[in-house]
Chain A
């Protein structure tokens, strides 16, 4: 069916990518073809799960201090505020992050990139937001890495984020990118987001006030999750 101008416009406003995105080849056999069913009312009104985080230590939020030595690469501080769509901060929420090392290699058996592993870098972190919804972690800037999606395909530098909000449907898994990365216009995953505003929501901002003199560059990445605490949850 041809896409009408109105449909095109609607897609531009949509924030999340579609399941099927031909430029990102892995979606071709993993995207549903049957029509999606309406979301059950009960799911809409569910709170996010409450579960034990285990013990979070300071090391969980500092990926440069998880081993005996320091990882190679450019040290970074990533910080921001977790909010709902009403702009209200989400306190005490778990944020899980993972990333490649400075050479663009993950410590994962499935990563076949021939860039070196760094014995001082695992690339996994966890942090809780504080009473004001603010989070902060220290890491090194991840390297770009090749993937076999198309000829000469490279992922822009990114950090994976997994987040829980107030409602069950606030759940978000996303990727944070860095400003000015020349690979962004070429990346099918970043560009799977139909609207410009949605794509911009994924790019962190360099922030001199987060930057620590003689130590690390600061990047700000605010995150807005689905849902609005001002709308009372139905029971």
Chain B
């Protein structure tokens, strides 16, 4: 059947799509190392994008996706899915746990990462990207990072920021221009 076409989310989605707690993925009971991931979204002139939202989706600390595993589904306290709008400075933040790497038969493991979709006014369809963790040994053999030009890989790797409370990671999303984020063909 003919698919329904995509259209922009526009500027007025906030009350409909963003609810308190949507950006907190590590619900009580979720096993793993607690982390936060924050960053800003910028446009092609380096201006913050204050009317975007990000959806992230990730495996649990053992590398399983809740939707793919009956046991995980049954005791679901970790959906692996979160949504966060950007604020007036273009900033977003998620609280979650460090995902595990994903082992698949017949191919190299995907290093720990979050899948990301970016929605905004001016985006007629979502931009699809990933957030990896800089310094993770598995990045060196990750099949997706390996296909990205070495000088652009840093746009997919969050950096650790010093903090006493817990592990905080930082990665900006640049929609266009210098240091443009690597996006996948959706």
Interface residues of A (CB under 8 A from B): 15-19, 21, 24, 26-34, 36-43, 46-52, 54, 83-87, 96-98, 100, 106-108, 110-111, 122-125, 160, 162, 168-169, 171-175, 189-190, 192-193, 197-199, 201-202, 223-226, 235
Contact = CB atoms under 8 A, between A and B. Distances in A.
B79 interface: yes
Chain A interface helix/strand/loop/mixed: loop
Nearest to B43: A29
A184 B63 CA distance: 46
A49 B110 contact: no
Contact of A36 (B12, B19, B183): B183
B115 A46 contact: yes
Interface in B1-42: 1-17, 19
Contacts of A16: 5-6, 124-125, 186
Interface in B127-150: 127-128, 130, 143-144, 147-148
A34 to B, nearest CB: 5
Interface residues of B, number: 68
29 contacts: A15-B3, A15-B5, A16-B186, A17-B6, A17-B124, A19-B123, A28-B44, A30-B43, A30-B123, A31-B122, A32-B180, A32-B183, A37-B148, A46-B115, A51-B79, A51-B81, A86-B1, A98-B16, A110-B12, A160-B12, A162-B13, A173-B9, A173-B119, A174-B7, A192-B7, A197-B2, A198-B5, A202-B7, A225-B3
Given A36-B183, A37-B183, A124 B6 contact: no
